[in-house]
Amino acid sequence: MTKGIKITTIGGGSSYTPELVEGFIKRYDELPVRELWLVDIEAGKEKLEIVGTLAKRMIEKAGLPIEVHLTLDREAALKDADFVTTQFRVGLLDARAKDERIPLKYGVLGQETNGPGGLFKGLRTIPVILDICNDMEKLCPNAWLINFTNPAGMVTEAVLRYSNIKKVVGLCNVPIGMEMGIAKLLDVDHSRIRINFAGLNHMVYGLDVFVDGESVKNKVIELLTDPNNSSFVKNIEGLGWEPEFIRSLNVLTCPYHMYYYKTKDMIEKDEKNAKEEGTRAEVVQKLEQELFELYKDPQLDIKPPQLEKRGGAYYSDAAVRLITSIYTDKKDIQPVNTRNNGAIAGIPDDSAVEVSCIITKDGPKPIVMGELPVAVSGLVQQIKSFERIAAEAAVTGDYEKAVLALTINPLTPTDTIAKEIVDEMLEAHKEHLPQFFQKVEA
């Protein structure tokens, strides 16, 4: 008889946790979770209690023998874990709101994982994830780290490069959202769809798309020339592509490409939204208040449908599908962030890429995609350079590297603006960026 699995979720007080719990309930036959440890920090204690109590009700309703533990003690939560999932936000939504508002003052896109916002989320997050990796080495050296924390690509890059944890997989719900969106577009079941994904997190392309093993890429691209079909992620409104552009590009884009191929339009839209209803973080803060009010209801024992508005659709499908496939050595194909190992030509083998992989008990085995099309390879290379230098800045607290990273990001117009944004955002996030201030004070 198996002893069952211990799963530790860091950032357990997240509004996404019911998604994850629903996933564990649905797949219990394949993935016999014995203990689920939800861990958070003092600032997240109230949310942890609310979400954790809902998780217990959901599991009780399902009649499953999963023990749910709520704790602020990360070490106790990590001890002997089999899988560690990370879904935390350093500085909470207030920090995200600064990431979104400050760049807009300079006419630069303010967004959670792209441009200055992505840089500063990475600078705040990477030291924390590396700290978690140190704990894992001591307390659960054989565990898999499944990282959902954004910017997932940059965070995975940092773990591969600056920690001793080799069993790490970065995960995002964008590829599975694209699969679901295309299944809907073609009116077929999701299980019949397969996309060859290659690129980076939030910079991933679908090189081909298959239904029952037959390529339907041309048909899908034709459907995507309709502006109503261009976005598959709840929190990014599609503006539609020029048909000539999308046909000629001849690969599937992800919703985040809007920020690069329609930068001016997206800045104008974000400026308008920031004035009228608040930035995305401010909208999410209101959504979260409503969600946590719902979660408090002692009668609620399912994941409420309102959670989909939060933008995390298919998160549990992606996360639990991945964990199950590693645990059962399923050898199915899933898009994840992992070490390149030659899958995408022109990107270093030791860098993190987002690519279709065969998922085994030894982790993801990237499928060789070869050269990216000329039309997209340059942008992918540029973002990889940005991620590498940003990760180095996060680890070293090197101010000049932070300015360099932002200057080479394609969303930043000039080095002068990059420096001004870095200066203002360093000050705004000072509390969560000690690595940049210790040297100055010393």
Could you list the active site residues?
Answer: 256
Locus of tokens 């390529």? 215
Beta carbons of 81 and 140 less than 8 angstroms apart: yes
Q: Which helix (H) or strand (E) holds 36?
A: strand 33-39
Q: Which helix (H) or strand (E) holds 246?
A: helix 243-249
User: Rounded to whole angstroms, how far apart are CA atoms 15 and 307?
Assistant: 8
- The dihedral of CA 64, 65, 71, 76: what is its sign? negative
Strand segments (E) across 212-301: 214-215
Sequence length of the chain is 442
Locus of tokens 């992918």? 380
User: Rounded to whole angstroms, how far apart are CA atoms 268 and 264?
Assistant: 6
Residue 430, Cβ density class (10 Å: 0-12 exposed, 13-18 middle, ≥19 buried): exposed
User: Rounded to whole angstroms, how far apart are CA atoms 231 and 354?
Assistant: 19
Adjacent-strand bridge partners of 200: 203
Amino acid type, 278: G
User: Rounded to whole angstroms, how far apart are CA atoms 89 and 63?
Assistant: 32
Closest CA to 172 of 140, 148, 206: 148
Adjacent-strand bridge partners of 33: 5
For the residues of 287-299, what is the DSSP string, one character each? HHHHHHHHHH-TT
What 3 state SS string does 38-90 have?
EECCHHHHHHHHHHHHHHHHHHHHHCCCCEEEEECCHHHHHCCCCEEEECCCC
Residue 322, Cβ density class (10 Å: 0-12 exposed, 13-18 middle, ≥19 buried): buried
Locus of tokens 């949310």? 47
Beta carbons of 359 and 338 less than 8 angstroms apart: no
